[in-house]
């Protein structure tokens, strides 16, 4: 048992107080579910957690702050960068002068300004994610980060700080597949970097950070518990493009990290390697295979089978490709459900559910998140 046994609230849920996490705006971020995920994990005896769809890394950060050893992984390079910063950075004090220095770098006109900077006072019809005064700062700071000869963790801290600062002043609805017609009010603010809220940790705790496809990474990881939060392809048959595609939604974070000035296309100036044909995840697939089964549902089944941890917490959002029947059979094939939580965002209600038909009918609702605690 670990530090989780402190700070339980009246409902037996770990409160997020004192468990601050940082993250960009991200479709599917589990910020609002952190207390539920932690309280489910508290029902079992796990000490290490594998988070292979780590995204913003908020869940990884929350587990690490609660005393678990965390193995964070995702196939996106931004998530790897955040995880190195928050889990491996150790001491925020060490980075104060670096961040101060980056804030003092003179703005310049460069590649980011050319492709993503817009003027607030012209009536140009071209929509851009940031005002030019801020892309000029971005151009200067991004060049400087490469010139400083930083080690891997220092560079991850600098890039995480830069991305968080850019996220605070963007003119988007939370992703970079399209930009707003009118400048958002936050986009008028100046780009300003802050030291990330890195964990103060004792050197004995050995968190790990990986990047890669979950099926590859899972082969070389050992942990007690896995928190599985894959993308869920939309079940809206008429609007397959409405599904979330992470590589295309967050292409700009890839480019800020790689600084590789890629070829871009379309009105949003997306990097060419973020096209669906190249970058889509099997979990985002909306089609059926030759045998008539949904590819995304098969991927969830395979995932549950291949994960080698004793316990799994599986996240599921209503509106996803899998039906309740699919999920029930996938879970039953690999283990026993110990607990289910239903979190209705709109009603702000959390309910415990039994492993009965009760949840099968509930799961067809909209805007509801489910957490399944499974023992394999």
Ligand X SMILES: C[S@@+](CC[C@H](N)C(=O)[O-])C[C@H]1O[C@@H](n2cnc3c(N)ncnc32)[C@H](O)[C@@H]1O
Q: Which residues bind ligand X (CB under 6 A)?
A: 26, 28-30, 52-56, 58-59, 74-76, 79, 213-214, 229-231, 246, 281-283
Output DSSP code: residue 167.
H
How is residue 85 written in tokens?
A: 């910063």
Closest distance of CB 217 from ligand X, Å: 7
How far apart are alpha carbons 175 and 129 in whole angstroms?
9
Pairing relationship of beta strands 270-271 and 264-265 according to DSSP bridges: antiparallel
How far apart are alpha carbons 151 and 275 in whole angstroms?
31
Closest distance of CB 76 from ligand X, Å: 4
Judged by CB, which is closer to ligand X: 39, or 54?
A: 54
Judged by CB, which is closer to ligand X: 55, or 89?
A: 55
Judged by CB, which is closer to ligand X: 82, or 183?
A: 82
Closest distance of CB 220 from ligand X, Å: 14
Judged by CB, which is closer to ligand X: 53, or 68?
A: 53
Judged by CB, which is closer to ligand X: 40, or 98?
A: 40
Using alpha carbons, select from 158, 118, 177 the residue that is nearest to residue 259.
158
Letter string b/e over residues 251-280, b meaning 16 or more CB atoms within 10 A of that residue's CB: bbbbbbbeeeebeeeeebbbbeebbeeebb
Closest distance of CB 22 from ligand X, Å: 11
Distances (CA, A) of 107 to 102, 117, 156, 184, 188: 11, 13, 21, 22, 16
Closest distance of CB 93 from ligand X, Å: 26
């Amino acid at each position: 048992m670990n530090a989780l046994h402190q700070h339980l609230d009246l409902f037996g849920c770990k409160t997020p107080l004192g468990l601050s996490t940082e993250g960009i705006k991200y479709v599917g971020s589990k910020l609002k579910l952190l207390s539920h995920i932690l309280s489910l994990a508290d029902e079992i005896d796990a000490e290490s957690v594998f988070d292979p769809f780590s995204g913003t890394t908020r869940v990884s950060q929350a587990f690490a702050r609660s005393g678990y050893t965390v193995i964070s992984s995702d196939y996106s390079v931004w998530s790897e960068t955040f995880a190195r910063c928050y889990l491996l950075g150790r001491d925020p004090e060490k980075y104060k002068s670096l961040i101060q220095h980056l804030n003092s770098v003179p703005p310049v006109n460069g590649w980011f300004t050319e492709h993503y900077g817009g003027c607030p006072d012209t009536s140009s019809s071209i929509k851009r994610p940031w005002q030019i005064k801020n892309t000029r700062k971005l151009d200067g700071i991004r060049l400087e980060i490469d010139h400083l000869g930083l080690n891997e963790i220092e560079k991850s801290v600098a890039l995480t700080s830069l991305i968080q600062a850019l996220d605070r002043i963007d003119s988007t609805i939370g992703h970079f597949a399209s930009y707003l017609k009118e400048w958002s009010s936050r986009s008028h603010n100046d780009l300003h970097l802050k030291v990330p809220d890195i964990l103060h940790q004792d050197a004995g705790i050995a968190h790990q950070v990986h990047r890669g496809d979950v099926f590859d990474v899972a082969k070389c990881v050992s942990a007690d518990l896995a928190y599985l939060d894959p993308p869920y392809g939309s079940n809206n048959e008429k609007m397959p493009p409405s599904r979330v595609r992470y590589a295309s939604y967050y292409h700009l974070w890839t480019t800020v990290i790689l600084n590789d000035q890629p070829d871009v296309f379309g009105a949003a100036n997306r990097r060419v390697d973020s096209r669906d044909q190249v970058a889509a995840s099997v979990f985002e697939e909306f089609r059926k295979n030759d045998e008539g089964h949904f590819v995304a549902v098969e991927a969830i089944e395979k995932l549950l089978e291949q994960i080698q941890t004793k316990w799994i917490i599986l996240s599921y959002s209503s509106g996803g490709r899998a039906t309740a029947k699919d999920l029930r059979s996938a879970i039953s094939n690999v283990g026993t459900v110990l607990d289910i939580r239903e979190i209705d965002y709109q009603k702000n209600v959390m309910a415990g559910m039994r492993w009965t038909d009760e949840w099968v009918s509930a799961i067809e609702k909209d805007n509801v998140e489910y957490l399944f605690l499974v023992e394999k």
